[in-house]
């Protein structure tokens, strides 16, 4: 009865995590029941604490694979303790597990019809939310969904679907920016940049298992870096030559845009592509330290003249000393 209740609670979960070309293969046996325990734990609370909550030191989560490809902690408890072949057979319960194992397989059709639609909907909400919005999704459910798909060899397909999903979203964002009038262009770019970077703070932790056991292990990359690169390629690179002249114009006209907006955009562009500093070194130097070479004594008079000009502009806009 205990085994049957665990099967019902964790149906579709990972039966074991063995190493294959995706570093997440599964095999027959009773290992799956041991892994289903962490899935049933209150994952949502740990997600709110950030990616550190899913570290290998967490006793409720699977940990990093051993060199032979088998996750530490996936063995039945009796194997680790003192016991003979009878204890091992009792823990795995070979006679009862064969049919249940076959029933727990997540096929590619199951993934496409059941699991990916849940992830797709959650990603949509995260990408389009405004700062401070409440998103009515179950982080625990999404986290568990990713976990099961990784266990059952769907990491490659899931990664491909995620990249395609976010690429399509960013292409729509880029088209909307192209249609923006010049007086709204800077503000809308700032909103798009901030909204996307905010969404990554939730998306990356939700896909932490895929990142750990597929992207880092097989592709030798990192999910966050890949998703930031998507914004650079599909949005920033397409708009930098329209955006930069507007930023320089706004810089020469004090308070045309808020200082926080200017700072967010300049710092964001530097994060996306540091070499863009060369397009406007003076602008970037106001928000990024050590951009310009050190001051020299021969240019002190020029620095003083620039400071006086700024003070006159402030006084003309109603600011007094």
Cα 203 to Cα 197, 222, 227, 259, 282: the distances in Å are: 10, 13, 10, 29, 35
**Per-residue pLDDT at 71:** 36
pLDDT at 297 over 80: no
Residue bearing the bigger pLDDT, 96 or 168: 168
- pLDDT (tens digit, 9 = 90+) per residue, 92-150? 454 444 444 444 789 999 999 999 999 999 999 999 987 667 677 788 899 999 999 99
DSSP string, 38-66: HHHS-HHHHHHT-GGGGSTT-TTS---B-
**287: helix, coil or strand?**
coil
- Could you tell me which CATH number the domain at 108-317 has? 1.20.1310.10
pLDDT one-digit tens code per residue, 231-289: 999 999 999 999 999 999 988 877 788 989 999 999 999 999 999 998 888 889 888 88
pLDDT computed for residue 137 by the predictor: 79
Both structure tokens of 227 = 């998703």
Confidence check: pLDDT of 74 > 60: no
Q: Name the more confident of 210 and 319.
A: 210
Mean pLDDT of 216-244: 96
CA distance 290 to 227: 28
260 Cβ partners below 8 Å, 6+ apart?
none
What value does the mean pLDDT take over residues 33-55? Answer: 40
3-class DSSP state for residue 67? coil
pLDDT of residue 109: 95
What DSSP assignment string belongs to 200-262? HHHHHHHTHHHIIIIIIIII---HHHHHHHHHIIIIIHHHHHHHHHHHHHHHHSTTSS-HHHH
**Is 90 exceeded by the pLDDT of residue 39?**
no
């Amino acid at each position: 009865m205990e085994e049957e209740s665990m099967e019902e609670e964790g149906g579709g979960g990972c039966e074991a995590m063995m190493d294959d070309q995706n570093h997440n293969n599964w095999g027959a046996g009773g290992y799956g029941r041991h892994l289903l325990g962490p899935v049933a734990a209150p994952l949502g609370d740990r997600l709110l604490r950030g990616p550190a909550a899913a570290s290998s030191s967490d006793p409720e989560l699977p940990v990093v694979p051993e060199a032979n490809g088998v996750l530490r902690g996936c063995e039945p408890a009796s194997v680790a303790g003192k016991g003979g072949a009878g204890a091992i057979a009792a823990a795995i319960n070979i006679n009862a597990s064969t049919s249940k194992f076959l029933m727990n397989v997540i096929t590619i059709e199951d993934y496409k019809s059941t699991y990916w639609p849940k992830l797709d909907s959650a990603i949509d909400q995260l990408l389009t939310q405004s700062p401070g919005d409440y998103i009515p999704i179950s982080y625990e459910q999404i986290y568990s969904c990713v976990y099961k798909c990784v266990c059952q060899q769907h990491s490659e397909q899931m990664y491909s679907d995620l990249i395609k999903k976010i690429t399509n979203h960013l292409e729509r964002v880029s088209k909307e920016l192209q249609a923006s009038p010049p007086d709204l262009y800077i503000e809308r770019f700032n909103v798009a940049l901030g909204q996307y970077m905010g969404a990554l703070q939730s998306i990356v932790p939700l896909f932490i298992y895929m990142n750990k056991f597929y992207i880092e292990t097989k592709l030798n990359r990192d999910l966050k870096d890949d998703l930031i690169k998507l914004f650079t390629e599909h949005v920033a690179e397409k708009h930098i030559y329209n955006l930069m002249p507007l930023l320089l114009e706004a810089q020469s006209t004090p308070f045309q845009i808020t200082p926080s907006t200017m700072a967010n955009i300049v710092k964001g562009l530097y994060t996306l592509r540091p070499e863009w500093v060369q397009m406007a070194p003076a602008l970037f130097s106001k928000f990024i330290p050590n951009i310009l070479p050190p001051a020299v004594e021969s240019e002190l008079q020029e620095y003083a003249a620039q400071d006086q000009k700024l003070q006159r502009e402030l006084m003309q806009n109603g600011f007094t000393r």
